[in-house]
């Protein structure tokens, strides 16, 4: 549905040229919810705005539904208003001089709908986002969450080829954000709208996306489903950016099918997933919540001896800081299974949860 190939965008700044987007390529299937995830300044918003036609990349090609909307070499650059898109902006960009209804009806009107048809369409869209009762209100008299919904309704009021979201939830409070997240996902499924979503919030990305592209410094680090990126990332950056990660320097001794045997300060650890890491320097990824705590003296493969330094009680969960062979590791358990500080423990790293990565 969407294909971006070799997008590059360089800005001239006082400190010299700066590559905001550096050779970015990806494909998105129809109906897919695709997220560009990364820290601020990673080029995700520039990429999104390039798809929208609000930025012009220096190089590359963008095709929507097989039609090239941008092609630097062929000199194709369809303006934003002819790309048939819906977009939700971080600042909502709700027009303050119009009512809620007129805001939402606008895309229909500019596509030739009569005022009445546009109003009807807008009401349907407002009902979808649960704002039907506020249609006549002035757009400035809305709360942030309501403005968010107006912006959303405006984006989906027409059946568009592509929905674009530029950090739409980042200005909402935590509770509202989670609620909107669910609604947004729901709506996207119902409309089966192909969507590109930009965020720096990994939880949001995980909850919403079919696939996520992790970006750093203008480049895509890796693309995958939330499961893949969480459980079997290929890059230490992904591992650290998505979820909590314990990364231990290691030496890959030998490959073993899809897995590998790693030598670390914790001892030799078997991993069931090693991607394409070759023998030599590597690192071991294990998530704190996957590490098991056992009574001291429990033996077996993938175990190590340690002592609890401190515990934080989080309600359902407990966070332990454990000293293992001079390394400080975080271990998360159910709070019912928490250990007191000073307790000697044996840690077990389940091989199916251990991942070998390239060295950091």
Partner 1 sequence: MMRRLALLPLGLLLAYLAVVPLILLGLASLKPEGFLDDEGWTFDNWRAVYLGPQLWPMLGNTLVFALGSTAAALLLGTLLAWLVERTDLPGRGLVRVMIILPLATPPLLLAIAWVLLLSPRTGFFNFALMGALGLDRAPFDIFSMGGMVFVETMVLLPSVYLMLAPAFRNMDPNLEHAAFVSGASVWTVVTRIVLPLLRPAILAAAVFMLIVCLVVFDVPGTIGMPVRIFVVSSLVYIWAAESPTGLPLYGRIAALAVLFVVVLLALALVYQLLSLQGQRFATISGKGYRPRPMPLGRWRWAAFAGVWTYFFLATIAPLAVLLVTSLLPFQTRITWEVLDRLTLDHHLAFLGNPRLLTAVRNTAIIALVSASLVALLSLLVSWAVVRSRAPGRRIIDLLAFLPLGIPGVMIGVGLITVYLTFTWIPIYGTIWILVVAYVTTFLAYGTRTTNGVLVQLHRDIEEAASVAGAGYWTVLRRIVLPLALPAVIAVWVWVFAHAARELSTALMLHGRHNTVISTLMWNFWSGGDGPRAAAVGVWLMLALFLLVGLWQLLVRRQERA
Are 40 and 104 spatial neighbours (Cβ–Cβ below 8 Å)?
Answer: no
26 or 106, CB closer to partner 1?
106
Distance CA 322, CA 105 (A): 58
- Characterize the bridge pairing of strands 195-199 and 33-37: parallel
The answer to whether 91 contacts partner 1 (rule: CB under 8 A) is yes
- Map residues 145-184 to x or -, x wherever contact with partner 1 holds by CB under 8 A: ------x--x---x-----x------x-------------
82 or 254, CB closer to partner 1?
82
Total residues interacting with partner 1, rule: CB under 8 A? 35
The answer to whether 72 contacts partner 1 (rule: CB under 8 A) is no
Question: Min. distance of Cβ 144 from partner 1 in angstroms?
Answer: 11
Considering only residues 81, 179, 192, 244, which one is a binding residue for partner 1 as defined by CB under 8 A? 81
Considering only residues 24, 33, 42, 55, which one is a binding residue for partner 1 as defined by CB under 8 A? 55
3-state secondary structure string, 153-214? HHHHCCCCCEEEEECCCCCCCHHHHHHHHHHHHHHHHHHCCCEEEEECCHHHHHHHCCEEEE
Question: Min. distance of Cβ 18 from partner 1 in angstroms?
Answer: 12
The answer to whether 82 contacts partner 1 (rule: CB under 8 A) is yes
Question: Min. distance of Cβ 103 from partner 1 in angstroms?
Answer: 9
Using alpha carbons, select from 177, 176, 151 the residue that is nearest to residue 164: 151
Distance CA 302, CA 41 (A): 39
Q: What DSSP letter does each residue of 37-69 carry, written as one string?
A: E-STTSSHHHHHHHHHTSS--SEEEEEETTEEE
The answer to whether 41 contacts partner 1 (rule: CB under 8 A) is no
Question: Min. distance of Cβ 215 from partner 1 in angstroms?
Answer: 18
Measured between alpha carbons, how far is residue 224 from residues 34, 36, 182, 343 in Å?
10, 11, 21, 39
Question: Which stretches of the chain bind partner 1, using CB under 8 A?
Answer: 13-14, 52-56, 79-87, 89-91, 93, 95-98, 106-107, 110-111, 138, 140, 151, 154, 158, 164, 171
């Amino acid at each position: 549905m969407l294909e971006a190939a070799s997008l590059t965008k360089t800005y001239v700044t006082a400190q010299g040229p700066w590559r905001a987007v550096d050779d970015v390529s990806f494909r998105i299937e129809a109906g897919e919810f695709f997220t560009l995830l990364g820290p601020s300044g990673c080029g995700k918003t520039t990429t999104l705005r390039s798809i929208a036609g609000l930025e012009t990349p220096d190089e590359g090609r963008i095709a929507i539904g097989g039609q090239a909307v941008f092609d630097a070499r062929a000199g194709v650059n369809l303006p934003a208003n002819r790309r048939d898109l819906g977009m939700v902006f971080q600042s909502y960009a709700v027009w303050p001089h119009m009512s809620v209804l007129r805001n939402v009806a606008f895309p229909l009107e500019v596509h030739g709908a009569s005022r009445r048809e546009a109003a009807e369409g807008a009401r349907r869209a407002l009902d979808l986002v649960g704002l039907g009762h506020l249609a006549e209100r002035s757009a400035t008299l809305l709360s942030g969450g309501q403005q968010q919904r107006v912006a959303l309704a405006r984006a989906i009021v027409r059946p568009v080829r592509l929905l674009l979201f530029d950090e739409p939830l980042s200005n909402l409070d935590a509770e509202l954000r989670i609620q909107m997240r669910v609604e947004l996902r729901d709506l996207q499924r119902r409309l089966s709208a192909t969507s590109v979503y930009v965020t720096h919030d990994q939880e949001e990305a995980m909850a919403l996306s079919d696939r996520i592209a992790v970006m750093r410094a203008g480049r895509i680090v890796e693309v995958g489903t939330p499961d893949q990126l969480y459980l079997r990332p290929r890059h230490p950056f992904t591992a650290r950016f998505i979820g909590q990660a314990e990364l231990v320097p290691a030496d890959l001794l030998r490959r073993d099918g899809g897995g590998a045997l790693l030598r670390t300060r914790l001892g030799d650890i078997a991993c069931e997933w090693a991607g394409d890491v070759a023998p030599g320097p590597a690192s071991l990824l294990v998530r704190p919540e996957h590490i098991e705590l056992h009574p001291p003296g429990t033996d077996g493969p993938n175990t190590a001896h340690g002592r609890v330094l401190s515990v934080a009680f989080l309600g359902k969960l407990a966070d332990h800081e454990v000293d293992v062979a001079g390394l400080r590791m975080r271990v998360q358990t159910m709070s019912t299974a928490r250990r007191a500080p000073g307790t000697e423990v044996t840690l077990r790293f389940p091989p199916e949860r251990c991942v070998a990565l390239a060295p950091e």
